[in-house]
Amino acid sequence: MTVAERTPPRPLAPVLARIALGLGLVAAGAALGWQGQRVTPTPGLNAVQTPLAFPLNGAEALNVRLEGDRSDLSVGGLAWPGRAALSGQAVRRERNPLRAQATREGGTLNLDLRLNVQPLKEGVIRVSTRPLQHRLDTQLSRAVPITLTTDTYSGDTRLDLHALRVRTLNVRSGFGKVVATLPERQSGPLTFVTLGGPVTLHARPTWRAPALRVNTESGDVRLDLAAARVESLSVGVLSGDVTGDLPRTDRTSVASGHGDVALNLPDGAAGTFDLRSEGGHVALTVPRDVPLRVRFTDRTALQLPPGLKRQGNTAATDAEALNDPDLDLFIDAPSADLTLRGPGDAPEGDTPS
């Protein structure tokens, strides 16, 4: 019978020496990979809050511009009464300064606030640094007319304008949500332009304006504007759905690239409505008692409600509306459904309160 012999133990020192040599080679390779690079901590990463306070000083109007490349922007109204033109705060890192400028032109106070975020430099490493969303939160005077411009590349924009006297509004957003409550009273023209991100607009029945324009390249548009009054409404969406309740208008234009359109028209709807969709389905709900004419293209598969009289690519509620309608609707879409809403019926998708 043969007994296996135990392998004689090897000295430990040579083994440790080989391990040390291997680690040394790894370290040398890492050093070669980082040759010419210097690892330094990033200064100014602490989060700070910067208060904002600009007095009105007798100004009769405000011209406000808020800008941030990667910052959230918010706007609201100051408590009444008040002598401030603008108050609020900026939440930022120390290394990203808030730039604020105030100038006076006659009775108009111009305020320009910018909060931009610096990119980290190559070769700089952040250690145990929590992410921080930069914010510019402002409240504006409700005592004077305001021209307001907001511009952000990446970040959400939230506007509560119900208490403000808005002369003109221009909102531009790259990528982020836009949520706005529109003025409670008469305002000037309002414009919302975005590259990507949803747009949600809410208005009370007392809001009046000459024009509202909404354009987005990619993002859903939700309108909650029932019973408000706008002379001209224009909505353009390249990719995204358009839904909600429309205001009373004289002229409405909705253009959709790739997305569905589902809209409720208000009681007393009148004027012209031009709706064009390249590749989505259209669903419209119209009050039953509105004298209506619908014109549509050859490519549109239109589902009409009972009772409408059709002649070729035109349909109307009666013979008089065929020549002189209160609401003149034109549809160019692959498919469309038209529904008539009776008196007192809640629009589809709404819940009676």
If asked whether residues 172 and 203 sit together in one domain, one would say no
- What is the extent of the structural domain holding 176? 51-118+131-181
Could you report the per-residue pLDDT of 305-333, keeping only the tens digit for each? Answer: 998 989 999 999 999 999 999 999 999 99
pLDDT value of position 119:
72
Q: How many CB atoms lie within 10 A of CB 150?
A: 25
The CA-based angle 82-107-181, given to 5 degrees, is 50
Residue 112 in tokens: 């320009």
- Establish if 192 belongs to a structural domain: no
Q: What is the pLDDT of residue 9?
A: 53
Does residue 339 sit in the same domain as residue 203? Answer: yes
What's phi and psi for 260, nearest 5 deg?
A: -90, 155
The verdict on residue 55 lying in a domain is yes
Q: In terms of domains, do 174 and 256 share one?
A: no
Q: Is residue 297 located within the same domain as residue 266?
A: yes
Do 229 and 312 lie in one domain? The reply is: yes
pTM check: above 0.95: no
Token readout for 88 is: 């609020």
pLDDT single digits (tens) 146-193: 999 999 999 999 999 999 999 999 999 999 999 999 999 999 999 999
User: pLDDT-based confidence at 16, cuts 50/70/90?
Assistant: low
pLDDT given at position 275: 98
CA 338-344-345 angle, 5° bins:
40
325 within some domain: yes
* CB-based contact 131:74 (threshold 8 Å): no
Q: What is the mean pLDDT of the chain?
A: 87
* Tally of domains within the chain: 2
Q: Are residues 156 and 273 in the same domain?
A: no
Whether residue 125 is contained in a domain is answered as no
Residue 167's closest CA among 150, 184, 144? Answer: 144
Amino acid identity, residue 32?
L
